[in-house]
Amino acid sequence: MASLSSTSSRPGVQYPYGPVGVARALQDNSQTPPTPTLFSKEFSLADRVALVTGANSGLGLESALALVEAGARAVYCVDIAAEPSPEWTKVKEFASRMQGTGGEGRLEYISASVCDQVLSVNLKGVLYAAQAAGKQMVRFNSPGSIILMASVLGSVACKLEEPGSLSYAVAKGGVLQMARSLAVELAPKGIRVNSISPAFTRTNMITGILDVPGGEDALAKFTPMGRVGESHELRGAVTWLASDASSFCTGSDVFACMKALESIIVFTAEVSTKHPPADQTGESNMLRIRGSFCVIRSIGTISFHRACMSSTSSVKSSAHYPYGPVGVARALQDTSQTPAPTLFSKEFSLADRVALVTGANSGLGLESALALIEAGARAVYCVDIAAEPSPEWTKVKEFASRMQGTGGEGRLEYISASVCDQERLLKIGESIGDKEGRLDICVASAGIIGNGAQGLEVTADAFDQVLSVNLKGVLYTAQAAGKQMVRFNSPGSIILMASVLGSVACMLTEPGSTPYSVAKVGVLQMTRSLACELASKGIRVNSISPGFMRTNMISGILGISSAEAALGKFGPMGRIGEPHELRGVVTWLASDASSFCTGSDIFVTGGHQAW
């Protein structure tokens, strides 16, 4: 175990409001009913301040309103126009009417000049904006989050020959690497850097294409769901990355599309190629608070030609929620005197939904189950191989039952079963459907690490065991849930637990990780394939790739002297993750807040994959 030696160690994440999730459940002995903290604490942006560029319309304005609904005190909106648009003015008035109902923030408009060259705006401008925000985060010695708006075209080539996208794609590819590099550089300062890659989304940038006959059809064909995205469908990703709920996520790119903090600074549009003046970089008194959050979205000019827009398919309808429009669309229509925020009460809410979570007797599975309860799920069925639930699970079940009446109305149920038994899992799924009349959410979290033999020494039996649980078991779980989603003709979300070791090789030679890594990379491709197959049925499939987390799976390694410090060195944050740091991403992927996200893998690794 010489490879585990280390001389540095950093503490795990500490929140000012105390423990959350399972850790809180195990410690809580109060006589008063506990209340859920997922939205009121981890996702909350209460008293934070934001600067959003490009916020006169589109994704920038959508982001600004989402931050207000999440509790931000003030959002400063920067754009090129000398005066705010009628749309912005309407949203500002809507936000002011939310005060007293949960949205206490205000919108302010600032006019600033921009550059219109694709590389200058989309690449250089992104760096300059990140510098402007990052320097203030360092100045105030506070943790922060920088979010760079990339694009799916930074990862895959556009199939349209016209309009040409070379310059745009080159710039967005650069943004992806910029996010990874900045994540590594800034992690020691407590600053997280991630990117979001939207697909074609209905904004002013592509209105010229959408207005061409057949144009929307052509764009919609690039995604398995068969439609373009709506700008409000990025509200969830922006809010998750802005908040403490993503505290172990850095150097990641979030595909908020259908692909096969304390103070907040948000840059979401054209940014000048010159370094911003001091009064736009946080030098003013409004930013003299404890932390920062920066979202950078830079937009270049796209030209187009009508000839390339021929299409024979019909466009599928955009996302429609049973509770009506949200975000900017709602603000433009709403005439009530006291509108209330919907971000947590509607888009993130899992009210009345039913979930199946495997590997939920402890660790990441149990943490996910409790998060779903706090988000409003009616029932969460926890499947694990143990004949009886663990004392930890029993304590969490009792904690969840005490939350009823305070916002957590759901219940936990335990089922003993092996995920390797396909027939048994299918029957479990069917019985849940029979009893509940629905099954909306699946989290396939069961997994084993194996006996630790190195690749040249792994026996056939040992290899089969790991593949049976970590690969076949994941498929069987997805089948059990997916068949019920199809049975009830209802949209659903399937979340498969992968691993960072499915994307990068483990630098530890002992214990060996070859079987585990092989199984996890299979989960990644399973996610993409199922996403394409099930999109037409309204079922989304995504994966999560955690880094090294403090769970029973690696408890043997953590028991070795200096092992935890050694594992922490694999990521720029310099520590391992805590199980509760997956609560946010699980909730986002399970909810309507991720309605335009399928076939994506979300890294929550402390930046392990970035270097």
Residues with a known catalytic role = 516
* CA–CA gap between residue 609 and residue 605 (Å, rounded): 7
CA quadruple 243, 249, 251, 252: dihedral positive or negative? Answer: negative
Tokens of 215: 């144009």
* CA–CA gap between residue 218 and residue 228 (Å, rounded): 10
* CA–CA gap between residue 39 and residue 244 (Å, rounded): 10
Tokens of 426: 């299918």
What is the number of other CB atoms lying within 10 angstroms of the CB of residue 569?
Answer: 18
Tokens of 54: 């490009």
Give the chain's radius of gyration (CA, Å).
Answer: 23
Amino acid at 465: Q
| Cβ–Cβ < 8 Å for 175, 148 | yes
| Cβ–Cβ < 8 Å for 143, 190 | yes
Burial (CB count within 10 angstroms: exposed 0-12, middle 13-18, buried 19+), residue 263: buried
Amino acid at 375: A
* CA–CA gap between residue 506 and residue 492 (Å, rounded): 33
Largest CA distance in the chain: 70
Cβ-count burial 525-539 (b if 16+ within 10 Å, e if not):
ebbbebbbebbeeeb
* CA–CA gap between residue 149 and residue 205 (Å, rounded): 14
Q: What is the 3-state secondary structure (H, E, C) of 365-424?
A: HHHHHHHHHHCCCCEEEEEECCCCCCHHHHHHHHHHHHCCCCCCCCEEEEEECCCCCHHH
| Cβ–Cβ < 8 Å for 588, 594 | yes
